[in-house]
Amino acid sequence: MTDPLTSILSGGVELAVPILFSALGEIYDQRAGVINLGLEGIMSLAAFVALLVGFSTGSYLMGTLAAISVGGLMALIHSFACVKIGINQIISGLLLVTLADGIANFSYVTIIRLSGVPRASVLKPINIPGLSQIPVLGPVLFQQNIFVYLAFLFAIVFGFVLYKTTWGLKIRGVGENPEACDAAGINVNRIRYLCVILSGVMAGFGGAFLSLGYLGLYGSGMAEGRGWIAIIVVILSGWSPYRAILGSLIFGLGYSTAANLIGIGIGVSSYVLQMVPYTMALIVIVFMFKRTKGPSALTVPYRRK
Amino acid sequence: MEARFEKYISYPIGLIIALSIFSAILLAMGFNPILSLEALIKGSFGTVFRASETFVRVTPLLLCALAFLIAFKARFLNFGAEGQLYIGALCAYLAASQMGGLPSILSVPLVVLVSFVSGVAWLAIPLVLKVKLEINEVFPTIVLNFIAILVINGLVTGPIKDPMAQNPQTRTIPPATWLPIMIPGTRLHVGLIFAFFLAFLIYLILQKTVLGYDIRAVGLGPRAAKHGGIDFSRNIIIVGILSGGLAGLAGMVEVLGANHLLISGFSPGFGYQGIAIAALGRFDPIGVLLASIFFSILLIGGESMQRATPPVPIQLIYILQAVLVLSVLIVQEFLTVRRQK
């Protein structure tokens, strides 16, 4: 049995993962000029799909692939509505949350009736030889499951691509000055389409982690605000994939502190403890959002004049 | 003439798309869509009681939709109606439970006032952030929804729980604070008339007053408002107060009118549905009134479908609603853009 501090820290790294996955996709999406507020719903739906497919095929890989496909598909609806047609992105995102949650809960209720509650045993941690033996740091950083390593690896790759490659330049360009990009022969809306779909795929990873890598179950509304918090992390990190690592860790620690203190039972109502991450989010908004400035063309649909 | 055609044609098209998906899902699950639709319509209008239930549900939906609408006109996106509704309901319960000795004529208006103010109070932080620091209101309002729901659940499972009840719910409030029933034998209370009146009032404010003009001008952005000599902050505060207050009232009608107590999770997302309704009703008070009746028919009919044999889960209705509103918005935008070309 590990001591409480180690388990809070280790849980913090773990619970940063769904937020980080989703925030990374959302950074690309917003950098390209589209906001996707649907993450909260997509994450829950992906968690359900990952569990269902993982449960029936016995393969974590298949479960994850199914989850990210469904995530991408949901985001495709958003990109059709907002990029192709150009409806209000905020409203569309909110409807996407309702739609995705609706599909997840409807399917869950139906599946239970047909074949009982789907469950999966949580993915086992991979101990990095040597490093995992370091006290405190070992269990916190090097005794995690594959999703955790993958999330942090993605953050570095996403940062590299965004800042050091032509693709990244194009993505940033269509979010800052779509007219100029169009004039330079870049297909603005195609890049936006791809980035929106990517945001759904990444929220799909986040959802797959929640069910296959963390809980082994599905519950209605199991994203528990993580989709919204991922978007707050995007703004907090100034749309940088590298800084999103730090932002996700902060909130991961918030969720982990709450979960661990509820588990230990410190005589404070669990409802109060569950408020920890949300209260942190509020504090972050109050103190950190003043100076942030997003991509210039964020939420503005692009149409050729 | 053409514009008007576009305005209305999107509704039948959206409905056809939504109903097709609805039927396809039902067929895939082995249900008969015709029977399900029949259950839905009978469930929402089959008897006087079912129809009255539909209109009981219209009240909080309409109030939440108006809450979103009035703020949206000034481009203040109050996503926090769900939280403001819960806090409004909590404060309405707390106030009403202390007022058993007062006559209705005093206690009801007092509780109405309390719920309005408490709804505004729950929006105070996002409102101040918006006006003082220009911080976008979307995220603080949403985060506060999660906190509000935890506050309510924490209280109704512990400190204010009725010790005799199985469910996480409070005691019943004193009958003197109940909203009068309009049709005996039903739960249809005067809150509905109150909500219709408020819809009309907001229509008047927006269309016929200087304030309404200012609000719409602010909706064009701070710079445009400044050019027109209109105080941006002042108008944002006004719509914020109206919006938070209306959402607080939506919580009040559920406590004083529909349930007479506070119960955990009494709102199946009224606050979020209000946003979809406002969009479906084109952010027009009359359109929103019709849209909230339609949403209510789906919800109450859906509850009947859920009780039918074989039961169809109510979540299918949420899917139907989201698909409907998305389709309508897409068709509307598509037609508008095509005309402008």
- The DSSP code for A85 is I
Write the pLDDT tens digit of every residue in A220-262: 989 999 999 999 999 999 999 999 999 999 999 999 999 999 9
Residue A122 confidence (pLDDT) above 90: no
Interior CA angle at A205 toward A204 and A209, to 5°? Answer: 115
Measured between CA atoms, the residue of chain A closest to residue B327 is A81
Q: Is residue A305 a part of any domain in this protein?
A: no
Measure CB to CB from residue A110 to each of B129, B313, B325 and give the nearest one. B313
Contact flag B337-A99 (C-beta cutoff 8 Å): no
Whether residue B338 is predicted with pLDDT greater than 70 in this model: the reply is yes
A264 has a pLDDT exceeding 60: yes
Domain limits at A222? 4-123+138-288
Q: What is the structure's pLDDT at B147?
A: 97
**Mean pLDDT across the stretch A190-207?**
97
CATH number of A68's domain: 1.10.3470
Residues shown for chain B: 341
Confidence of residue A143 (pLDDT cuts 50, 70, 90): confident
Contact in structure between A252 and A81 (CB atoms under 8 Å): no
Q: Determine the Cα–Cα distance for residues B278 and B288; give it in Å rounded to an integer.
A: 6
Average predicted confidence (pLDDT) for chain B: 93
How many A/B residue pairs have CB atoms within 8 Å?
123
Q: Is residue A131 part of a domain?
A: no
Specify whether the backbone of B30 is left (phi greater than 0), alpha (psi in -120 to 50) or beta.
left
The C-alpha atoms of residue A38 and residue A42 are separated, in whole angstroms, by 6
pLDDT value of position A117:
82
List pLDDT tens digits, range A270-295.
999 999 999 999 999 988 777 677 88
Chain B residues touching residue A228 (CB < 8 angstroms): 139, 142-143
Residue whose C-alpha is closest to residue B72's, from B4, B137, B146, B142: B137
Contact B153 A271 (CB under 8 A): yes
* Nearby residues of B334 by Cβ (< 8 Å), 6 or more positions away: A85
- Interchain CB contact of A219 with B (< 8 Å): no
A302 touches chain B (CB under 8 A): no
Task: Tell me what pLDDT residue A291 has.
Answer: 66
- Determine the pLDDT at residue A139: 84
**Cβ of residue A123 closer than 8 Å to a chain B Cβ:** no
Looking at residue A140, its pLDDT comes to: 83
Within a domain: A224: yes
What average pLDDT does range B213-231 have in this prediction?
86
The pLDDT value recorded for residue B70 is 97
CATH number of this structure's domain B58-309, picked from the four choices 2.40.50.40, 1.10.3470.10, 3.40.190.10, 1.10.3720.10:
1.10.3470.10
Residue A143: its H or E element:
strand A143-144
What is the average pLDDT score of chain A? Answer: 92
A48 contact residues in B (CB cutoff 8 A): none
Phi, psi of A228 (to 5 degrees): -70, -40
Q: Please indicate whether residue B114 or residue A141 has the higher confidence score (pLDDT).
A: B114
List CB contacts of A199: < 8 A, sequence separation 6 or more.
A22, A25, A26, A28, A29, A36, A39, A75
* Chain A interface, best mutation among B64, B138, B141, by max A CB count within 10 A: B138
The β-bridge partners of A143 are: A127
- As a whole-number percent, the residues of chain A with pLDDT over 90 amount to 74
Instruction: Give the tens place of pLDDT for each residue, A27-70.
Output: 999 999 999 999 999 999 999 999 999 988 999 999 999 999 99
Q: Return the residue of B nearest to A232 by Cα.
A: B139
| Closest residue in chain A to residue B145, using alpha carbons only | A278
Enter the pTM of the model.
0.94
CB B26, CB B33: distance < 8 Å:
yes
Dump pLDDT digits (tens) for B267-297: 999 999 999 999 999 999 999 999 999 999 9
**pLDDT category of residue B112 using cuts at 50, 70 and 90:** very high
pLDDT tens-digit profile of B31-81? 889 988 999 999 999 999 999 999 999 999 999 999 999 999 999 999 999
Quote the pLDDT of residue B56: 96
**In chain B, where the domains are located:** 58-309
A245: exposed, middle or buried (Cβ count in 10 Å: 0-12, 13-18, 19+):
buried
**What is the spatial distance between Cα B89 and Cα B247, in angstroms, rounded to a whole number?**
10
- The ipTM of this complex is 0.93
pLDDT at A88: 94
Q: Is the pLDDT of residue A186 over 50?
A: yes
B161 C-beta neighbours (distance < 10 Å), count? 17
A65 in a domain, yes or no? yes
The confidence score (pLDDT) of residue B54 equals 96
User: What's the mean pLDDT in A179-188?
Assistant: 94
Which chain B residue shows the shortest CA-CA distance from A276? B147
The answer to whether residue A90 neighbours chain B at the CB level (below 8 Å) is yes
Residue whose structure tokens are 């067929």: B27
Rounded Cα gap, residues B270 and B290, in angstroms:
16
Beta carbons of B315 and A102 less than 8 Å apart: yes
- Quote the number of domains for chain A: 1
In this prediction, residue B2 carries a pLDDT of 55
pLDDT band for position A131 (50/70/90)? confident
The pLDDT of residue B3 is: 65
Average pLDDT (B325-332) is 95
A108-122, B63-77, B125-139, B228-242: segment of lowest average pLDDT: A108-122
Average pLDDT over residues A78-86: 95
pLDDT at A2 over 70: no
In a domain, A243, yes or no: yes
In angstroms, rounded to a whole number, what is the distance separating the alpha carbons of residues B339 and B332?
Answer: 11
B326 and A81 within 8 Å at the Cβ level: the answer is yes
Instruction: With a cut of 60, say whether residue B1 has pLDDT above it.
Output: no
User: Looking at the partner chain, which of A87, A109, A272 has a beta carbon nearest the beta carbon of B315?
Assistant: A109
- Contact call for B330 and A110, based on CB within 8 A: no
Contacts of B254 by beta carbon, 8 Å cutoff, 6+ apart: B60, B85, B89, B266, B267
